[in-house]
Chain A
Amino acid sequence: MANLRELSRKDELLTGGHRACAGCGAPVAVRQVLKAVDTPVVVGCATGCLEVTTTIYPYSAWNVPFIHSAFENVAATVSGIEAAYRSLKRQGRIQRDIQFVAFGGDGGTYDIGFQALSGAMERGHDMVYICYDNQAYMNTGIQRSSATPRGAATTTSPAGRVATGGKSQYRKDLTAVMAAHDIPYVAQTTISHWNDLITKVRKAFAVEGPAFVNILAPCRLGWQIDSADSIEICRKAVDTCFWPLYEVENGVWKITVKPKEKKPITEWLRPQGRFRHLFKPGNEKIIEEIQADVDRRWEMLQKRCEVGGAGMMPRE
Chain B
Amino acid sequence: MTGNEAVAEAMRQVNPDVVAAYPITPQTEIVQIFSTFVADGLVKTEFVTVESEHSAMSATIGAAAAGARAMTATSSQGFALMWEMLYIAAGLRLPIVMPVVNRALSAPINIHCDHSDTMGARDSGWIQIFSENAQEAYDNVIQAVRIAESRDVLLPAMVCMDGFIVSHGMESVKLLKDEEVRGFIGGYEPAYSLLDVDHPITVGALDFADWYFEHKRQEAAAEVPVAEVVRRVGEEYGKLSGRSYGLFEAYRLDDAEVAVVALGSTAGTAKAVVDELRREGVRAGVLKIRLYRPFPGDEIVRVLSGVKAIAVLDRSDTFSTMGGPVFIDIKASMYAPIYDDSVYDDSVHGPVRGSTHDRDARDTGARDTTQRPVIVNYIYGLGGRDIDLEQIRKVYERLQAIATTGEAGQCVSYLGVRE
Residues of chain A touching chain B, judged by Cβ–Cβ distance below 8 Å, are: 40-42, 44, 51-52, 55-58, 60, 62-70, 72-73, 75-88, 90-91, 94, 96, 98, 115-116, 118-120, 122-123
Contact = CB atoms under 8 A, between A and B. Distances in A.
A69 B54 contact: no
A69 B211 contact: no
A75 B62 CA distance: 10
B205 A70 contact: no
Given A40-B197, A67-B203, A115-B52, A83 B211 contact: no
Interface residues of B, number: 45
A96 B65 CA distance: 17
A246 to B, nearest CB: 27
Contact of A91 (B17, B50, B56): B17
A51 B66 CA distance: 19
Interface string B83-100: 011001000100000000
Nearest to A42: B194
11 contacts: A65-B201, A66-B194, A67-B202, A67-B203, A69-B204, A77-B58, A79-B55, A83-B63, A84-B18, A84-B46, A118-B51
Contacts of B319: none
B62 A84 contact: yes
Interface string B341-368: 0000000000000000000000000000
Interface in B65-121: 65-68, 70, 84-85, 88, 92
Nearest to B66: A84
**8 closest A-B pairs by CB:** A80-B62, A119-B51, A80-B59, A76-B55, A84-B68, A84-B66, A76-B58, A40-B197
Interface in B189-214: 194-197, 200-208, 210-211
Contact of A73 (B70, B85, B201): B85
A83 B49 CA distance: 11
A80 B203 contact: no
Interface of B: 17-18, 20, 44-46, 48-52, 54-56, 58-68, 70, 84-85, 88, 92, 194-197, 200-208, 210-211
Nearest to A73: B58
Given A63-B200, A65-B201, A94-B195, A122 B51 contact: yes
Contacts of A79: 20, 48, 50, 55, 58-59, 62
A55 B88 CA distance: 16
B206 A65 contact: no
B17 A68 contact: no
Contacts of B206: 51-52, 55-57
A37 to B, nearest CB: 12
B211 A58 contact: yes
Contacts of B207: 57
Nearest to A62: B202
A63 B200 CA distance: 6
A119 B383 CA distance: 32
A64 B197 contact: yes
A73 B51 CA distance: 11
A56 B204 CA distance: 10
A69 B66 CA distance: 13
Contact of A67 (B196, B204, B211): B204
Given A80-B60, A90-B44, A116 B55 contact: yes
Contacts of A116: 51-52, 54-55, 58
Contacts of A87: 17-18, 44-46, 63, 68
B18 A80 contact: yes
Given A85-B195, A98-B195, A123-B50, 5 more contacts: A76-B55, A76-B58, A81-B65, A87-B63, A116-B58
A69 B46 contact: no
A73 B55 contact: yes
Contacts of B92: 69
Nearest to B59: A80
Contact of B59 (A65, A68, A83): A83
Contacts of B196: 65
A70 B50 contact: no
Given A65-B197, A86-B46, A118-B51, A60 B202 contact: yes
Given A55-B204, A69-B85, A84 B50 contact: no
Contacts of B68: 83-84, 87-88
A193 B5 CA distance: 56
Contact of A66 (B50, B51, B200, B210): B200
A81 B48 CA distance: 11
B17 A84 contact: yes
Contacts of A57: 205-208, 210-211
Contacts of A55: 202, 204-206
Contacts of B205: 55-58, 60, 68
Nearest to A72: B54
A79 B46 CA distance: 11
Given A56-B208, A119-B50, A88 B58 contact: no
Contacts of A122: 51
A82 B50 CA distance: 13
Contacts of B201: 65-66
Given A84-B18, A88-B17, A69 B195 contact: no
